[in-house]
Copies of this chain bind each other. A is one copy, B any other.
């Protein structure tokens, strides 16, 4: 009995049309990464386990895919560990490698390993798949691409300005007008926690605040209470929920809350510099908006934080995010290397472009010209023509077998091929070929000796 094939849950096959659409997004992102001066690197799909483990918290450790050692792996497990029959104790004995969980930790590892070859500031981009043993659900996969651009080794806020412009450039080019780039600064969040007397509960405070969009003001306050933040502190924080006006006006309102907090005022000054920098040049289609409730779950951000939301009316989580982290490479022994970066959410951008019908029509056209196969002599003439078309970069092919014409035309139809070329016995004798426009049904005759006349009509 042959197997009925399937693929692991949370993974996907991509059809030609899907690959074309994904590549369209990736190529657009890549183009702007490069035009902004970022350089590509690639790292291995799997890393030594110690490079990854402990970098993403306990939950992250659990979600990392581990690779079984090759050979007679079990004979290397000592009897004491083996007799415990405990998965966590066994893992380090039978698995030394693990699949990449994100691109940031491998990048930090790369920077440390190659520090002597790198010219800092190092602007790198990386577009590669990552793997997580997460529970699969709509829009969440076990294998997915990350598209990251980061700068390491430069503390200037010029990078923060550049990243806002980069988001704007990519989304404008994709035709996705009206995105909102939300901006905040971890220092402002620290300042607020300090100002309201909840400094020791900073993480709980920011995690709760981050949920404002989802659970509303009351929900956030309730969660803060539950986490041990006092009613008094929460009351002090209430201006956060009542901010109004444009970004610069909101910054002014924040100032009154943070005037006593050194770190808070530093955050405000940074935000102002970024906002001013962006305004000096203007944006094409995106909107930059201060959002003091923006926290992002990750704990390694230390300065600016970004998150991009799709145009209004499209229900979708953030389609991009990032921020500054002051100590990217410290975990691998290289101190004081500041980094700042952003990420594009490929799968979500795909869904948004699909929903708004923004993928170019041309992506569904894989072949421009199909030559019908009428037999050996005819198909040799067809191959010669096709050879000339290909030389001009025109995607074209000869149907491989001289099967029924109807079947060949159906194939052209199904594959959405716009032009079908007919070279039958008569045409061969006349030195001509007939081109059928599949959309209009029109037919036109050209000379085999002058294919350029046809090429010019394309």
Taking Cβ atoms with an 8 Å cutoff, the residues of A that contact B are 2-8, 11-16, 19-20, 23, 31, 34-37, 39-48, 50-51, 62-63, 65-68, 70-75, 77, 82, 85-87, 90-91, 94-97, 99, 109-110, 112-114, 117, 119, 121, 123-124, 129, 131, 133, 143, 151, 154-156, 158-159, 161-162, 165, 169, 277, 280-281, 330-333, 366-367, 370, 373, 379-380, 383-384, 387, 390, 393-402, 411, 414-415
Contacts and interface: CB of A to CB of B under 8 A. Distances in A.
B8 A281 contact: no
Given A16-B40, A393-B35, A3 B67 contact: no
Given A74-B86, A366-B39, A401 B143 contact: no
B19 A41 contact: yes
19 contacts: A2-B331, A3-B333, A5-B333, A8-B44, A11-B45, A13-B41, A13-B110, A15-B117, A23-B40, A35-B393, A36-B397, A37-B370, A65-B70, A68-B91, A68-B95, A121-B399, A151-B400, A158-B400, A281-B380
A309 B42 CA distance: 28
Nearest to A340: B400
A268 to B, nearest CB: 18
A333 B131 contact: no
5 tightest CB-CB pairs across the interface, nearest first? A37-B397, A11-B44, A2-B333, A16-B39, A154-B400
Nearest to A379: B158
A394 B75 contact: no
Contacts of A156: 373, 400-402
A16, A50, A72: residue with the most chain B Cβ atoms closer than 10 Å? A16
A103 to B, nearest CB: 13
A77 to B, nearest CB: 8
Contact of A330 (B2, B48, B333): B2
A338 to B, nearest CB: 10
A3 B51 contact: yes
A46 B129 CA distance: 12
